[in-house]
Amino acid sequence: MILEDESLFNYALITLYLIAPPTFISLHFLQAPYGKHHRPGWGPNLPPYLAWFLMESPTLCFTLYLFPFGNNSSNPKSILLITPFLFHYFNRTCVYPLRLFFTATKNTFGFPFSIALIAFLFNLLNSYVQARWVSHYKNYDGDGLCFWLVFFCGVLVFFCGMGINVWSDNELLRLKSKGKGYVVPKGGLFEVVSCPNYFGEILEWFGWALMTWSWAGLGFFVYTFANLGPRARANHKWYLEKFGEDYPKKRIAVIPYLY
């Protein structure tokens, strides 16, 4: 049984890496049809708040289900390590959909069920890989000072990224709640990049990769960039086309001064 689970874990981890390159390449040509890029032809739509709740829920629920079955589930280091992961997904699964619900306007586009289903399946895969690594396959014996060094470096990066992500999302929701359609966001990292919310999330999972110091954490970071990097560039292009000369030319897509 242990060998069967280890094989499943290894296959899931490899899958996480295999899907990153085609995701990165394909999203340079075809953007997922939600938000600014919403378009018909992708099947029935869900209200955005419901879609976000459903597609993010595996990462919270499945992680909480799997974690107690790990050999290290009662190890304080294991519990400490999984806490930032759960903290992020509590915000993304519960808090963010509620914010969407209360800021919805008559101009809010639906969210295609097909895209929500794809995201649900990815989150199922990723939550298995991350939770199983932290609670079962990571070796906490004899890591001593090294564990605390990478953990505190990683957690600093993680919560810096989460702060950027949450602030940027809140600013976009505040602008949306005015019911005036899309406007040019300003302030904070919006003065430097078009999508600081995506930059914050990429930074979060870089911090997670440091914290876990694992192929599992690195795989999640790589996929996050493969998914959000091209979308940020598409959003940047969308802003330039929509607002023309009124959009600040010094802004780039997502990573300040780089990308």
Confidence category of residue 3, pLDDT binned at 50, 70, 90: low
Is 111 in a helix, a strand, or coil? strand
Q: For 139-184, what is each residue's pLDDT tens digit?
A: 888 777 889 999 999 999 999 999 999 999 999 988 888 877 788 9
pLDDT at res. 131: 97
Phi-psi region of 248 (alpha: psi -120 to 50; beta: other; left: phi over 0): beta
**DSSP-derived secondary structure letter, 138:** S
Instruction: Give me the DSSP letters along 198-224.
Output: HHHHHHHHHHHHHHHTSHHHHHHHHHH
1, 65, 141 from 5: Cα distances, Å? 6, 16, 21
Q: Which two structure tokens, joined as six digits, stand for 140? A: 């906490």
pLDDT at 106: 59
Can you give the pTM of this predicted structure? 0.93
Q: How far apart are CA 92 and CA 202, in angstroms?
A: 14
| Residue 1 pLDDT | 44
What stretches of 104-143 show up as alpha helix (H) in DSSP?
A: 113-132
pLDDT at 80: 96
**Phi, psi at 2, each rounded to 5°:** -65, -45
- The pLDDT value recorded for residue 142 is 72
* Distances 129 to 2, 15, 72, 161, 215 between C-alpha atoms, Å: 15, 10, 15, 22, 10
CA distance 131 to 70: 9
pLDDT score at 232: 94
Token pair listed for 88? 């992020």
Indicate the burial class of 18 (C-beta count within 10 angstroms; 0-12, 13-18, 19 or more).
exposed
Mean pLDDT confidence for 197-220: 97
What are the E-state strand segments in 76-115?
111-112
Q: Tokens standing for 132?
A: 């199983």
Contact 20, 223 (CB under 8 A): yes
The DSSP symbol for 110 reads P
